[in-house]
Amino acid sequence: MKRAILLTACCAAASGCASSRSVEPGDDPDLASYRAARERLVRKERARRLGAALVLSPEEEAASQRLAELRRAEEERVGAYFPPARSFLLEETKRLIDESPLLEVMRRLPKGGILHVHGSAGGDFRWLVSHATYRPDCYVFLGESGPVVRGTLRFFPRPPEGDWHPVVTLRNAAPDPRVFDEDLYQSITLGEEDRGARDIWEEFGNCFRRAWGLLDDEGIRNEHWRRMLDRLIDENVQYVEFRGWPVDETVVRRARLRDPDFAVKFIPAAARSSDRDRVRGVLERALAERERDPSRVVGFDLVEEEDRTHGTLFFAEEILAARREAERRGLALPLFLHSGETSRASSENLYDALLLGARRIGHGLALVRHPLLMEMVRERGVAIEVCPISNQVLGYVGDLRAHPAVTYINAGIPVVLAPDDPGLMRHTFSHDFYEAFMAWDLGLRDLKQLARDSLVHSGMSPEEQARAHAVWERRWTGFVRWLNEAR
């Protein structure tokens, strides 16, 4: 009894929770008093939740109720097969989500911006197979994997030496061209056939290696990007920051013919497996691109699997030197660093992300195991770029209900949803919203906060953000009206 009283007193002194004192054995409250105390405790905790301060209009409250009804209906529809608890690689999981009325809601949701997607990995890989590989100059490597991965696709002006074969010839010789094309598609994307992969990260990297040579062709690359941007507009995304180098601006201008408010920026990135000279060169080029057009190139990142590559500390000297050079040129070099994408007990890269002043942290899965760093992130307003489906596909979170993002949202840490590599992982951004909505017990208020934060924590200037927010508010009002009318 004495120990329990001491613990309660410590809690009150440390966090001001005296009004939510635990019930002691000697207190003997009646049930009504107990329920009142319980309700105060629940309210106190929920007041810390991200978006708790948002006040919904009567129209939004009605839409919120409608969304809650749809959730209950969805839970009854899927029964024991709860999609967020099952691997997204499974065809059954995708089928259930694709058939859900909630997916259409998530598709119509004005999502604001995407702040974490890797270049061309957001595109339509089926289109690459159905168009790029039908060209007579497209070849596939069928030798043993080495410097070139078996299954790599590339264009050659003349027949190359080595174990390269024209894809058109192989398709014509196949018993069923449709099966042949499906095999090609599976070789450059991740799906159910990869669940038993010995190393999912290795297979993930091989998908990139097999497909990326096709994008060396300017015509294929530009059409791939055009279709990708069109798909994002269809998903009600109004702003994107791509990890990678800027693409032909005419591609973006064509997208803006469909949606004049659509905007695209880029975050150059260096591979963590690179040596320091290589990263220094990428930083120099990033600075040059940012100096040339700071409204288009908004920062720098380090990418690739963290557990088997160099940590951020390895490149600290190069990053600090680049920041000094940026300052000398009258520029800033914002950092948006992949950090904490690991299953390990701790992540050294999170320390460096905070010490280097990163504005956002990519994935941040391990942050939940660093209480002090979590508090620093919350106090500084550093946003965590959360990619639910990617995190599950790459083996970090089996059941999305256990995703660390739930802790971040409940602790009031800024979170932005992102799709990471949707084309390569066979999903859309709306699938990520469906998974998060169902797995994390989100409501309309939470969806509104997530969408707004994707603009607040973007690399846009204050003036650009103000315009983007005005556009988003108009679209949100239309979405709420649609949700209320779709009863």
Residue burial 438-476, b: 16+ Cβ < 10 Å; e: rest: bbbebbbbbbbbbbbbbbbbbbbeeebbeebbebbeebb
Within 8 A by CB and 6+ apart from 288, the residues are: none
Residues 357, 125: Cα–Cα separation, whole Å: 36
Q: What is the pLDDT of residue 22?
A: 63
Task: Judge if 205 and 346 occupy the same domain.
Answer: no
Residues 238-286 have pLDDT tens digits of: 999 999 999 999 999 999 999 999 999 999 999 999 999 999 999 999 9
Task: Judge if 327 and 353 occupy the same domain.
Answer: yes
Query: Is residue 30, in this structure, part of any structural domain at all?
Result: no
Task: Judge if 117 and 209 occupy the same domain.
Answer: no
Query: Is residue 339, in this structure, part of any structural domain at all?
Result: yes
- Residues 251/484, Cβ–Cβ less than 8 Å: no
Question: Positive or negative CA dihedral for 195, 198, 199, 205?
Answer: negative
Residues 314, 119: Cα–Cα separation, whole Å: 25
- Final residue belonging to a domain, choices 216, 250, 281: 216
H or E, element range at 265: strand 263-267
Task: Judge if 379 and 425 occupy the same domain.
Answer: yes
Query: Is residue 47, in this structure, part of any structural domain at all?
Result: no
Query: Is residue 477, in this structure, part of any structural domain at all?
Result: yes
Residues 62, 41: Cα–Cα separation, whole Å: 26
Q: What is the pLDDT of residue 23?
A: 60
- Residues 431/105, Cβ–Cβ less than 8 Å: no
- Residues 355/312, Cβ–Cβ less than 8 Å: no
Residue burial 146-166, b: 16+ Cβ < 10 Å; e: rest: eebbbbbbbeeeeeeeeebeb
Provide the CATH number for the domain around residue 462.
3.20.20.140
Q: Which residues pair with 339 in a beta bridge?
A: 363
Please list the alpha-helical segments (H only) found in 297-360.
Answer: 316-328, 348-355
Task: Judge if 250 and 389 occupy the same domain.
Answer: yes
Query: Is residue 379, in this structure, part of any structural domain at all?
Result: yes
Tokens of residue 148, six digits: 């070139």
Query: Is residue 38, in this structure, part of any structural domain at all?
Result: no
Task: Judge if 162 and 295 occupy the same domain.
Answer: no
Q: At residue 144, what are phi and psi to the nearest 5 degrees?
A: -70, 140
Query: Is residue 467, in this structure, part of any structural domain at all?
Result: yes
Q: How many CB atoms are closer than 10 A to CB 289?
A: 16
Task: Judge if 161 and 291 occupy the same domain.
Answer: no
CB-based burial label for 376 (10 Å; 0-12, 13-18, 19+): middle
Residues 166, 160: Cα–Cα separation, whole Å: 10
**Number of separate domains in the chain:** 2
Within 8 A by CB and 6+ apart from 95, the residues are: none
Task: Judge if 257 and 189 occupy the same domain.
Answer: no
H or E, element range at 141: strand 138-141
What one-letter code names the amino acid at 374? M
- Final residue belonging to a domain, choices 187, 216, 245: 216
Task: List the chain residues with pLDDT less than 50.
Answer: 1-20
Secondary structure, 3-state, 183-247 = HHHHHCCCCHHHCCCCCHHHHHHHHHHHHHHHHHCHHHHHHHHHHHHHHHHHCCEEEEEEECCCC
Closest CA to 311 of 282, 340, 348: 348
Q: Structural domain of residue 132, as residue ranges?
A: 125-216
Task: Judge if 314 and 343 occupy the same domain.
Answer: yes
Task: Judge if 111 and 131 occupy the same domain.
Answer: no
- Final residue belonging to a domain, choices 194, 216, 238: 216
Tokens of residue 146, six digits: 């080495």
- Residues 115/457, Cβ–Cβ less than 8 Å: yes
Residues 61, 401: Cα–Cα separation, whole Å: 25
Query: Is residue 2, in this structure, part of any structural domain at all?
Result: no
Tokens of residue 432, six digits: 């990520």
Task: Judge if 283 and 322 occupy the same domain.
Answer: yes
Task: Judge if 349 and 468 occupy the same domain.
Answer: yes
Residues 117, 376: Cα–Cα separation, whole Å: 25
